[in-house]
A and B are shown apart, each in its own frame.
Chain A
Amino acid sequence: MKSRPISIWKSGLLALLAGCCVVFSTPTIRAADEKPAEQAPVSFYRQVRPILQRACTGCHQPAKVGGKLQLTTYELAKAGGEQGALWTPGKPEESLLIDVIGGDAPTMPKNAPPLNKDQVATLSRWVLEGAKDDTPAEVQDTISPENPPIYTNPPVISALAWSPDGQFIAVSGFREILLHKADGSGLAGRLVGRSQSITSLSFSPDGKLLAATGGNASLFGEVQFWNVAEKKLERSTTFSTDTLFGGRFSPDGTLFACGGADNSARVLRVADGQPLLKFDAHADWVLNTAFSVDGKHMITVSRDRSMKLSIVESGQFVDNITSITPGALKGGLQSLRRHPAKDELLVGGADGEPKLYKMIRTQARQIGDDFNRIRSYPVMVGRIFSLAGIPEWRGSTARKMVNCCSNFRDTPGVCSPSSFLPMANMSPPGGLKGSCGSTTPRPVPWKRNWSRCRLRQRSRASRIH
């Protein structure tokens, strides 16, 4: 052939030769691209701080100050604790920080798995490079119980709870819980903790403890138990690498359940905060929990669109209370309330349709069934953030008593940010008096904003039915 053949034939020919003569050509293996010899210096803000936040600041934080050491900011860490300075710049081998986390039997983090090799290497190199701070000025954390947050803009109210005696309303803030006097006469206390976001608030049945779930998104999850009378943090327990959700006391007040962004639900012992149970049957974030009337069962709802029933004592999965048929439920479930006296469960979520379910199945499971559903309520526009019933809530009159909050969109296609209603709750003693959290687009003084919201909820509630 005079001219060069076109290469379309080549692959076929190669296959042909390989097939009949067993001619193998060894592919040339190229070395992976060499990394540049000089590594960028370790960043405190981007590399060191996340390790500290995940592994250390559960104890070494303003609300606990284990070892008289705080690791929430560079300055606090540099100041050291009761054992002195944490590091000597440039000398990791002489630094306490590296000593306690490194070696064969690291003493820190206490009661937790040791840091992995890469994390230890990162911290060592950072000390070797001079242990410098590169935290951008505007993200420095200056908030503490003595120096509570100052609001220039109202935060979203994502959690709200009435005390059982009706004296207080606990409201989520940024880095804190605001304990309001229920008569509207002012603040009873500001409970400044470590978590930036508070996702749920609940009082123990005796009203002595206030439990909050929350955390910092993508960093850690936290359960806080506050002594209501003393306005003091009784205990803080951190789990997971993201916020926790949907905390609930068991009916006898000894246990506390919550969900998490790690697709797990947990049950803690209230007395010492120890985790008793981790429930892993969900495939997506667990956003809310409830106990059965007798406290023996836990109910969890998740963004995986299912509501699951499990046994508290053993952690054993019992049943999918909702249908498991794909598409039966259109969105993730976010809200869950149990009837005050019955094992009936009100759920709501991304599809905007509140539904009432019975907890215990009375009809054999079939693929695609939805036997446990007692009834559905009219679809609300937007997501259902929370559900509430009043103490007199009764099965037959449930529809009247159900109170839902969802995002309202004024006209199709346009969302009005002035109408977020992320949290609703009903006052226990007062019957039909409701309250809800809100956000507004304009900066409004904090307290006024909240009380306006409470007023507005009354009209909203009437609009729902």
Chain B
Amino acid sequence: MRLLSKLWLLVAVAGVGLCGSDRRAIAAPPPRPEIVELQFFPAKLELNGIRDSRRVLVTGKSAAGDLIDLTAEAKLALVGDAAELESDGFLVARKVGTAKLVVSAAGKQAELAVDVKDANPVPVSFVREIQPAMSKVGCNQGTCHGAQDGKNGFKLSLRGYDTEYDYLALVDDLSGRRFNRSVPSQSLMLLKPTQGVPHVGGFLFDEDSRYYKLIHPWIADGCQLDTTTRVTKLEVFPANPVIDLEGRKLQQTVIAHFPDGSTRDVTRDAVFSSSNFNVATVTNSLASSGVVESLRRGESAILVRYEGAYAVNQITVQGDRSGFAWSDSAENNFIDTLVNQKLKKIKTLPSDLCTDAEFLRRASIDLTGLPPTPEQVKAFLADPRDSKVKRDEKIDELLDTPEYIDHWTLKWSDLLLSNRKFISEKGVWAYRNWIRSAIAENKPYDGWVTDLLTANGSTFQNPAANYFRISREPTAAMENFTQVFLGTRFSCNKCHDHPFERWTQGQYYQLSAYFSGVGRKPGTVPEDEVIYPLRSPVAVVNPRSNQAVPAKFPYEHGGSAVDPNSDLRQQLAQWLTSKDNQYFATSLVNRYWSYLLGRGIIDPVDDIRSSNPATNPELLKALTDDFIASKFDTKHLLRTIARSATYQRSYAANKWNEDDGENFSHFMPRRLTAEQLFDAIMTAAGSPVTIPGVPPGFRATQLPDPNIQIGFLDMFGRPAREIPCECERAADVSLSQTLNLINGPTVSEAIIHPQGLIARLKQANADDPTLVREIYLSVLNRLPTDEEQAKGIVYLGGVDRAEGAQDLMWALMNSPAFLFNR
């Protein structure tokens, strides 16, 4: 095969072309509309203590009703001496009484009442003032002194989760090296951040800063550790704002709530970050804290962190959408209603539905892992009935195929880490068969997960018990458990409290304790192991306290109470699979959604946390409710999703949704997985599958575990089944993959196989039009266009026909239409 002509062919028939990316330049600040009214948040400033500083957010309302943040430009004047106005706009209590704040902005003027309720001097608090300062300037971040080994001999707990540890590090370590009560200004903890002595972390604040003026008296007063309770909740204002255009700035205010009912404006001390800094940035310095700047149309979650509490503010930047008009399209079920609701809000127009051929290929691959055969394509296209009717019927049909069982067995074998390294070869087949039967019988999800978690006995006789043969330590079992069944990652809080979540180190060990009653002993036959409940569970010890930890759930839900005297795993299964457990059903629904739509509503699907919000919470909730109402019927869930117009949209974008990547306004193409691609090549080439070590005809999808060596599968990202993370399966596109597809034996041997499609067509003396048509049907699962047909015929006329047909099939297999599910 001549390389150059083949390349020409590749470009001609596969329709590849570079798509340009037009990076829009960041817009200049847009003109401000005429302001008709000033609005304040809060409506009245109440100061409840000497350290209860507050600032007002000033918002201008335009004639059209748009709200524009004017906090930065507003001129403030204080009338009265009850409080003092700081240069950054914060008011500090001076004495009990009232005052008045005169605000002028955008040519308007308005007044705000100030009420000082308490102004008694109080000592500086380590918990409320010193630790937040250290978090804000970054002392305790993971790259500095919060690192595993600290920095330059000084270690703090990561992001300040451990107050006592940090206090001891500052006060007690190295005989009081870091403070100097006699001459506070000579304290290392002041000399370092002010760069009074060399500091690799650089200059952080000066002697006139607010933080210096808090730390200095704290040292002078004897470095006291107070027992103030920590913050319980954060609120961010304005909540979930929609910003009209690029280039706008928006000051946020963060209010912290404490257990005693008091609140504080902690905007200056909170730590801000933006989940998508292409859409919106947020300031996080001492000079400016919490100001969002809109850069581009899109959505970004602003993560706000303050002393172990987290909040998320969802920012939507509308951008210039002049000319946009919503048009209703058919809604197949509640999914479409909720997706379209969101799309309407962000002025995004969904793509049209895909063609029948596209649908058939898409649904076949997603539900059964295999592309359709030419016969199935022909039959589906020839079916004259209404498209929706035949699509719905096709979905039901696909859900009842044996390939469906294979495909979903593979998914769950991945998640449950079925691997002969852990459970022997015999065990892998047994475990696979157990999973297969659960899928084949469509057992309710809550039911088979309960069977799994409470399994006992010989792993050969009751393969579900392999779950505990694979996860052997209570902590490892717990980490796998949370990531798979709750979609959350507890591994972070093994060593420290979770940096982005409420999970604590204590909860890590408390939850692990549910796995502490698992006994393991050799079985009666070689290589077998028996799982049994221990009479007295082994202690799970929290290394921080060096004490055994009792089993306790990390959160309570409204479900029925568990019997504390029952087996620990029974309790855990009951708690987990309750319909009131907010993570169990949701994480499954979200995971399955991502399998079909290419992206979770929360993504990554196994990293659910408050700082990783759902792009469409209403949709996730409705899907979860529907799944629970169906009694955890996963087939029902797949059917519901596949039937939606949202699932059936074209991958081609329009002018109003081309920048959407997370709201499901068009289908998102994704590369076939390793096993899908391998099987698709064999199916398309019509070549029989022969994999060494398994019976002839056994497809890649049907393999029991990754220890059957096939280089092609590993190259295309087959997971090793060592960690229960979706990320273990690589979905990337690499140069070696491309070269393998062009030159590798997998594709070429399938194409030239003597029993393959081309050999058969040659034997049947098929003419050129038939050859082209059959190859298109088999590889791309659609008929060629007239132009493609003509080009193909021209090409076959110029070369040896059999070789030309092979070239054509090879070129199509290298095209995105084949390599991607789209």
Contacts and interface: CB of A to CB of B under 8 A. Distances in A.
Interface of A: 1-16, 18-21, 45-46, 50, 136, 138-139, 149, 151-156, 158, 174, 196-197, 199, 216-219, 241, 243, 261, 284-285, 287, 303, 334, 382-383, 385, 407, 412-415, 417, 420, 422-423, 439-442
Contacts of B671: 12
Given A16-B814, A439-B181, 13 more contacts: A3-B654, A4-B658, A6-B669, A8-B668, A8-B820, A9-B19, A9-B816, A10-B19, A15-B734, A216-B197, A407-B168, A417-B171, A441-B222
B172 A382 contact: yes
Given A153-B182, A158-B176, A16 B738 contact: yes
B532 interface: no
A153 B739 CA distance: 74
A243 B177 CA distance: 10
Interface of B: 3, 7, 15-19, 21, 153, 164, 167-168, 171-178, 180-183, 185-186, 188, 191-192, 195-199, 203, 207, 220, 222-225, 227, 545, 650-654, 658, 666, 668-671, 733-735, 737-739, 742, 814, 816, 819-820, 822
A7 B180 CA distance: 59
Contacts of B814: 16
Contacts of A6: 19, 651-653, 666, 668-669, 822
Contacts of A13: 16, 18, 816
Given A385-B175, A422-B176, A20 B197 contact: no
A20 B735 CA distance: 10
A415 B164 contact: yes
B207 A12 contact: no
A109 to B, nearest CB: 17
A45 B196 contact: yes
B17 A5 contact: yes
Contact of A415 (B15, B18, B167, B816): B167
B175 A158 contact: yes
A12 B18 CA distance: 11
Secondary structure call for the A interface: loop
Contacts, number: 167
A32 to B, nearest CB: 19
A1 B182 contact: no
Contacts of A9: 16, 19, 669, 816, 820
24 contacts: A2-B652, A3-B653, A5-B816, A6-B19, A7-B19, A12-B737, A12-B819, A15-B733, A46-B195, A46-B203, A138-B185, A138-B207, A139-B186, A153-B181, A153-B222, A154-B181, A155-B182, A156-B176, A156-B181, A158-B176, A174-B183, A218-B198, A417-B171, A422-B175
A155 B7 CA distance: 80
Nearest to A8: B669
B551 to A, nearest CB: 21
A151 B183 CA distance: 8
Nearest to B199: A218
Nearest to B15: A1
A199 B173 CA distance: 13
Given A1-B15, A217-B191, A415-B164, A383 B172 contact: yes
Given A8-B668, A216-B197, A217-B191, A197 B172 contact: no
Given A10-B18, A20-B3, A422-B175, A417 B223 contact: yes
B7 A21 contact: yes
A412 B546 CA distance: 12
Contacts of A422: 175-176
A414 to B, nearest CB: 7
A423 B153 contact: no
A3 B652 contact: yes
Nearest to A243: B177
- 3 closest residue pairs by CB, A with B: A3-B652, A156-B176, A12-B733
A155 B176 CA distance: 9
* Most chain B CB within a 10 A radius of its CB, from A136, A287, A334: A136
A216 B670 CA distance: 60
B168 A417 contact: no
Contact of B816 (A12, A149, A407): A12
A216 B198 CA distance: 11
B176 A439 contact: yes
A328 to B, nearest CB: 15
A11 B175 contact: no
Given A19-B738, A243-B177, A383-B173, A50 B197 contact: yes
Contacts of B733: 11-12, 15
